[in-house]
A and B are shown apart, each in its own frame.
Chain A
Amino acid sequence: MATVPSRRPALDPRALAARFPILARQVHGRRLIYLDNAATTQKPAAVLAALEHYYTHSNANVHRGVHTLGEEATEAYEACRARVAAFLHAPSHRGVVILRSTTEALNLIARGWEHHLQEGDEILLTEMEHHSNLVPWIMLARRRGVTLRHLPLREDGELDLEALPRLLSRRTRLVALTHASNVLGTVNPVAEIAAAAHAVGARVAVDAAQSVPHMPVDLRTLGADFVAFSAHKAYGPTGVGFLVAAPELLEELEPVEGGGEMIREVHLDRATWNEVPHRFEAGTPNIADAAAFPAALDLLEELGMEAVRAHEVALTGYAWERLASLRWLQLHGPADPHRRTGLISFYDPQLHPHDLAQILDSEGIAVRAGHHCAQPLMRRLGVPATTRASFGLYNTTEDVDALVEGLLAARRYFGLPTGGAA
């Protein structure tokens, strides 16, 4: 039996679980054990209340009429922008674009920045990217004839920084990478890579969807020029994502969508753009979900991101130790919990991830099974798919114990030996 790490989490996951109404439900007659937080987190009651409050009291369109509801809606929507800027220590709220998702933010960078690129230019990505940080660049490469290069992965699940000097050159115009891998958990040294990228004059875009909700992220030291993340992975509502940058860097992007809100003056044959960030927010935005997101940030700030990180490091370290004791299981990514975010992907060569996830579901345990929108990484790891357990504020060592019991039960169900377990 593994020992609980000595570093005690400063936050109380059981008390926190009580603030997430969905965690009180049962699944197939069992207590729900939600270990799919990297896909989306659950929402605290405060976020649900904020959503209801918005629709009950202030619902109106934003940046339009003069009436009271319109002013309140605009205020709530703009408060989200300001809170996100403060949360990440971004240079200005004018550098926060409110979009639909991390994916939309990455696509906006790829489309909005492409006029700076010409044939022969290079974009550097990594082998561990999510499809949302691969496909927009593949589409861009097709349109512009630019070359995509990829920073390789080492056997230990970390990026091979020794390859950086030969991959970066004056032709490199942009480096786009994930801050934390959604499969390996690896936390990448963004500042170091960004410094090397900036030295050759490249811009740096970071997919921070898996880092912002789980660790302190400070844009003053991160080194990134463009940062994308989603509210729904940070205990906020679905349908809201952000692109965050210095306002003057946003000026480098062309708007991708035209319509209301993004314009200053429109004639029948021409138009001028609104200022940043509004020029990237054509049409009526997702006002209610944006207005409710600050309630999630309230919770994270109340706990403190250092404490959130300490909780997840301790829990991930405990989970790694317990899972590593199952000799038939392959674990992916760095073993040191300080070098990874709060998730672990694993693979049982004798048990397909979908069968495993099915058995776990029957036990009330929600995990993700599949390629995690990272097919190139699956090929690189030499597995058809993996199972992933990902942690949040409300997860406990008991949840990890239940997962391990579920893994043993699944082996038994399929008549596979469970020997070698600690």
Chain B
Amino acid sequence: MSQDKGFLPLDELYREVILDHYRRPRGRTPLPRVDVTAHGRNPVCGDEIDVALALADGHIEAARVTGHGCAICTASGSIMAELLPGRTTGQAEEAAEAFRRMMHGEPPPAAVDLGDAELLEGVQRFPVRVKCALLPWMTLRDALAAHRAGAAPTVTTTEESDP
């Protein structure tokens, strides 16, 4: 199978780094304390994730992404959890927006470093899977927006109209 993929660029979807994040997801250890939480669910896929953040001085000290989803959703959440610590909440929101733009084929702002998340760019070629990659990031975006507004934790889906 991995020797012959026909005409489908499967390896652009399942890059080695993505498979590695899927097999050994990062950001699963419990946080010392939880300041921000949000839930993401895509009922059509059956994917459910929880994003939790520990904050200190406007910075993300630690991030945790748990739940169950496909390889793309799981890897995307793992990469995000690895990327967030040390960033301000504002920078995290910028990263979520940059990721959203990338997944929609729009150029992300050059100033935003998406790290390994840039490897998810190939998911664009599999339109039905874009929502899988987006779920952790859009859940993060909604979580931070709600936190900023002092609102209750959010529930995010990426299965409806374009997030």
- Interaction A to B: yes
* Interface size class, chain B: 20 to 34
Contact A415 B70 (CB under 8 A): no
CA distance A105 to B2 in the complex (A): 46
Enumerate chain A residues within 8 angstroms of B126, measured Cβ to Cβ.
358
Q: Is B6 an interface residue (CB 8 A)?
A: yes
What is the 8 Å Cβ interface bit string for chain B, positions 7-22, against chain A (1 contact, 0 not)? 1101001100001001
Nearest-neighbour CB distance to chain B for A410, whole angstroms, equals 7
Instruction: Identify the closest chain A residue to B132 (Cβ).
Output: A354
Within 8 A of B (CB), among A365-422: 370-371, 375, 378, 383-385, 406, 409-410, 412-415
Contact of B6 among A29, A375, A384 (CB under 8 A): A29
Enumerate chain B residues within 8 angstroms of A385, measured Cβ to Cβ.
45-46
Q: Is A321 an interface residue (CB 8 A)?
A: no
Contact A384 B47 (CB under 8 A): yes
Within 8 A of A (CB), among B34-55: 43-48
Contact of A362 among B5, B19, B48, B132 (CB under 8 A): B5
CA distance A26 to B116 in the complex (A): 35
Summed over the interface, the residue pairs from A and B with CB atoms below 8 Å come to a total of 70
Q: Is A150 an interface residue (CB 8 A)?
A: no
Given A359-B10, A361-B8, are A412 and B2 also a contact pair (CB < 8 Å)? Answer: yes
Instruction: Identify the closest chain A residue to B74 (Cβ).
Output: A352
Enumerate chain A residues within 8 angstroms of B129, measured Cβ to Cβ.
354, 358
Contact B10 A414 (CB under 8 A): no
CA distance A29 to B44 in the complex (A): 29
Enumerate chain B residues within 8 angstroms of A409, measured Cβ to Cβ.
1-2
Q: Is B23 an interface residue (CB 8 A)?
A: yes
Given A352-B69, A352-B70, A371-B44, are A414 and B22 also a contact pair (CB < 8 Å)? Answer: yes
Q: Is B68 an interface residue (CB 8 A)?
A: yes
Contact A364 B46 (CB under 8 A): no
22 A-B residue pairs with CB within 8 Å: A28-B8, A29-B7, A352-B45, A352-B69, A354-B45, A355-B71, A358-B129, A359-B1, A359-B10, A362-B6, A362-B10, A364-B6, A371-B43, A371-B44, A385-B45, A385-B46, A412-B2, A413-B1, A413-B2, A414-B14, A414-B19, A415-B23
Interface residues of B (CB under 8 A from A): 1-2, 5-8, 10, 13-14, 19, 22-23, 43-48, 68-72, 126, 129, 132
Interface residues of A (CB under 8 A from B): 28-30, 352-355, 358-359, 361-364, 370-371, 375, 378, 383-385, 406, 409-410, 412-415
